[in-house]
Amino acid sequence: MLTGKQKRFLRSQGSLMKPTVSIGKEGLTEQVISECNRQITAGELVKVRIQKNYFGEVKEAAAELADATNSQLAGVAGRNFLLYLENKEKKQYDLP
């Protein structure tokens, strides 16, 4: 479980990133989940963008994707959210 200080640190790192995974009107498909898994194992932190044609709630989609990828939700801002999963072999972020 991430502490508030750790989430704040990850949000600061994520503010510099561009969204690399996009959720469209189909919602959470297997392709979205597998791409998110691939990127999370490669880089620990993934920024996801919900498109305007998605009619669900952003926080619900973020929670579902976090559960599907076994990652932790670091923050939600508008239609963007950050997912974090620590990689013990290739650690990129030294959390406070």
Q: What is the pLDDT of residues 2-35, one digit of tens each?
A: 999 999 999 999 999 999 999 999 999 999 999 9
What's the pLDDT band for 80 if we cut at 50, 70, 90?
very high
DSSP conformation letters of 37-53: HHHHHHHSEEEEEE-TT
**Can you read off the two tokens belonging to residue 74?**
């670091």
Residue 90 has pLDDT above 90, yes or no: no
- pTM equals 0.92
Q: Give CATH for domain 4-84.
A: 3.30.110.60
C-alpha span between 90 and 96 (Å, rounded) = 17
pLDDT digits (tens, 9 = 90+) for 41-65: 999 999 999 999 999 999 999 999 9
Residue 91 has pLDDT above 90, yes or no: no
